[in-house]
Amino acid sequence: MEEMLASTRRFHELPREEKMAFYSRDVTRPVRYVSNGRLLDRAAPADWRDTLAFHVPDGGLDQQSVPPVCREVATEYLKQTLKLKNKLAELLSDAAGLNRDHLSTIKCMESQTMACHYYPPCPQPHLTIGSSKHTDPFCLTILLQDHNQGLQVRNHDRWVDMPKSAQGALVVNVGDFLQLITNDKFKSVEHRVVAQSSTTRSSVACFFGPGSENKYRLYGPAKELVLLGGDHVEPVYREVHLVEFLDYFKSNGSPLSHFKLS
Ligand SMILES: O=C(O)CCC(=O)C(=O)O
Ligand SMILES: [Fe+2]
């Protein structure tokens, strides 16, 4: 984990020309470097951060497309987080009152995207934000942070600082799509990263959602949760596929209220 953070830093601290070989705003590219990635998506403040993003295709990443400074570590880290995700899928299925294999059977966490973020010191942190407020749209996020603070979560109408991560600790976030599948049993949480004047912060977020072969598959609240034991619980959301869900997210932020059944 320390090595993953160190190689994230190593990439972002390369000379500009070397990083620019990976620069692209084309979200279909498996490996791309971008500055202020959400700038064109919606009317939000510019994010004071750079990101190296990996979208692992079905057949796995082509090693040659990964920057040499982080090739070995990133490949291993992707493998380990995939294993952890499989374990978490079992635990979360169980905790939601579903069969242990439910979330893996419905294939809602098969795709893996990794964002290696770098937040440089900001001369006027009160005028901007490291990462603007959002909920993660997929099912699950596994987040690794260095020892610099900045991440905040929304608790009612207050922003609360996440305590510094203990060494070796990961933060696991429920995303909007999992909230929909669990019919609000699990809640996605709004979060943001504040800009800092003197520290450089690195973090690595791995996101899991339905894979490309299931991007048009309809997902809705798990039937087992809305008809549990004969006690009828109303489904909160209508069925939706990932493409429609993400389209809404890109222009408007969290899609949950939009897909609510009235
Ligand atoms: O940098 C962080 O700690 C959070 C990043 C984040 O929220 C995201 O990539 O969705
Ligand atoms: Fe996030």
Asked if residue 195 has its Cβ within 6 Å of ligand 1, the reply is no
Q: How far apart are CA 219 and CA 227, in angstroms?
A: 16
Atom of ligand 1 nearest to the CA of 171: 3
The helix, strand and coil proportions of the chain, stated in percent and rounded to the nearest 5, come to: 35, 25, 45
Q: Which of 77, 78, 68, 72 is closest to 19 using CA atoms?
A: 68
Q: How far is the CA of 68 from the centre of ligand 1 (A)?
A: 24
Sorted by where each starts, the structural domains of the chain and their CATH numbers stand as 2-218 (2.60.120.330)
- The amino acid sitting at 1 is M
Q: What's the confidence (pLDDT) of residue 198?
A: 92
Report the chain's mean pLDDT, rounded to a whole number: 92
Q: 127 CB contacts (<8 Å, ≥6 apart)?
A: none
Please work out whether the CB of residue 131 comes within 6 Å of at least one atom of ligand 1. yes
Please state, in angstroms and as integers, the Cα–Cα distance from residue 116 to each residue in 43, 55, 259, following that order.
23, 12, 30
Give the ipTM: 0.98
CA angle 104–105–111, rounded 5-degree value:
50
Q: What is the pTM of this model?
A: 0.94
Centroid of ligand 1 to alpha carbon of 185 (angstroms): 23
Around ion ligand 2, residues with a beta carbon closer than 5 Å are 136
pLDDT band at 10 (very low <50, low <70, confident <90, very high): very high
Residue of 131, 160, 177 with the most ligand 1 atoms within 8 Å of its CB, for mutation = 131
Angle made by CA atoms 206, 212, 217, in degrees to the nearest 5: 110
Ligand 1 pocket residue status of 180, Cβ below 6 Å: no
Task: Kindly report, residue by residue over 136-146, the tens digit of the pLDDT.
Answer: 999 999 999 99
